[in-house]
């Protein structure tokens, strides 16, 4: 009797991750296409439409300055997604590279990088961002740099630990003894195994960046008005909560949905 070797069937993504991907795609589409399709200027004021309810000329209403909430939400979503993506990318590239370097070289290289990461961890994340914002409050540059400096440590620590385990496997040790170049080994044997973990970390990093940007703007040390940022929008409309509660909740709901989508997408499948 002939035995046929069973080939592993690729596991389909869970419903949770599919729901997260779908929600994220819808929100990303709103962020990318909304400012283009919605012709209203997010900064144009019309005091005659102050706190206008949803419907009519203003689909989602207008804020206290008569600015279109739909237009401001679209631009705010684009800003949040853009800042989150750039911050996660700027944190992932050095974090993964340094983690691979520490795992490959070991010794004093690893000790120095571990000490550097511990210094960053000793400072609360938002405090590090605040220290950089003190030099140029309200600007994109210090905010972006501060978030990247805060987030890279997690990429470094996870990459270093995972890569150290992978590099100790027999087939990789054999490749090193045979003289294969380090970049070839890392690209062919280590990077494919690390990719799912790094992708998950990137999703969590983007969610953390979205929350951080909104929080800093809400306490008036991040991006400043009239920039259409979601945290700014909530704080500006908060005094009018009793008159227009939906107007205050809309940016908060959008932040919640963006973070929820990233969290669902980052969730690992379980057997």
Q: Is residue 65 part of a domain?
A: no
Q: Which residues of 118-157 are buried (b: 16+ CB within 10 A; e: fewer)?
A: eeeeeeebbebbbebbeeebbebebbbbbbbbbbbbbbbb
Q: Is residue 39 part of a domain?
A: no
Tokens coding 211: 């929350």
pTM, 2 dp: 0.85
pLDDT at 12: 63
Q: Is residue 57 part of a domain?
A: no
Q: Which of 253, 252, 230 is nearest to 74 (CA)?
A: 230
**Are the C-beta atoms of residues 64 and 51 closer than 8 Å to each other?**
yes
Q: Is residue 27 part of a domain?
A: no
138 φψ region: left (φ > 0), alpha (ψ -120 to 50), beta (else): left
Q: Is residue 217 part of a domain?
A: yes
Residues lower than pLDDT 70 in the chain: 1-13, 136-138, 268-271
Q: Is residue 28 part of a domain?
A: no
Domain count, the chain: 1
201 CB burial (10 A radius; 0-12, 13-18, 19+): buried
Q: Is residue 137 part of a domain?
A: yes
**Are the C-beta atoms of residues 261 and 24 closer than 8 Å to each other?**
yes
pLDDT at 8: 41
DSSP reduced 3-state for 121: helix
CATH code of the domain in which 195 resides: 1.10.3720.10
- Residue 188 CB neighbour total at 10 angstroms: 12
pLDDT at 208: 92
DSSP reduced 3-state for 228: coil
Reply yes or no: is the peptide bond before residue 255 cis, omega within 30 of 0.
Answer: no
Strand partners, 68: 62
Q: Is residue 195 part of a domain?
A: yes
pLDDT at 138: 66
Residue-averaged pLDDT of the chain: 85
Write out the residue range of the structural domain in which residue 123 sits.
70-266
């Amino acid at each position: 009797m002939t035995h046929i070797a069973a080939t592993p069937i690729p596991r389909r993504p869970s419903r949770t991750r599919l729901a997260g991907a779908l929600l994220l795609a819808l929100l990303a589409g709103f962020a990318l296409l909304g400012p283009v399709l919605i012709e209203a200027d997010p900064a144009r004021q019309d005091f005659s439409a102050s706190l206008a309810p949803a419907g009519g000329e203003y689909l989602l209403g207008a804020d206290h300055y008569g600015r279109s909430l739909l237009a401001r939400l679209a631009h705010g979503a684009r800003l949040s997604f853009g800042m989150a993506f750039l911050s996660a990318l700027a944190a992932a590239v050095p974090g993964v590279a340094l983690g691979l370097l520490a795992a490959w070289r070991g010794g004093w290289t690893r000790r120095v990088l571990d000490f550097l990461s511990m210094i960053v961890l000793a400072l609360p994340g938002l405090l590090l961002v605040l220290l950089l914002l003190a030099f140029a409050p309200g600007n994109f540059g210090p905010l972006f740099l501060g978030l990247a400096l805060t987030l890279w440590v997690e990429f470094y620590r996870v990459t270093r630990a995972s890569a150290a385990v992978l590099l100790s496997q027999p087939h990789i040790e054999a490749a090193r003894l045979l003289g294969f170049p380090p970049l070839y080994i890392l690209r062919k044997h280590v990077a494919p195994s690390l990719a799912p973990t790094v992708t998950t970390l990137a999703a969590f990093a983007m969610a953390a960046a979205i929350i951080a940007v909104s929080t800093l703007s809400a306490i008036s040390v991040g991006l400043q008005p009239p920039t259409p940022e979601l945290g700014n929008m909530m704080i500006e409309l908060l005094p009018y909560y009793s008159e227009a509660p939906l107007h205050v909740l809309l940016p908060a709901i959008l932040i919640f949905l963006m973070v929820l989508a990233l969290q669902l997408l980052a969730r690992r499948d379980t057997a």
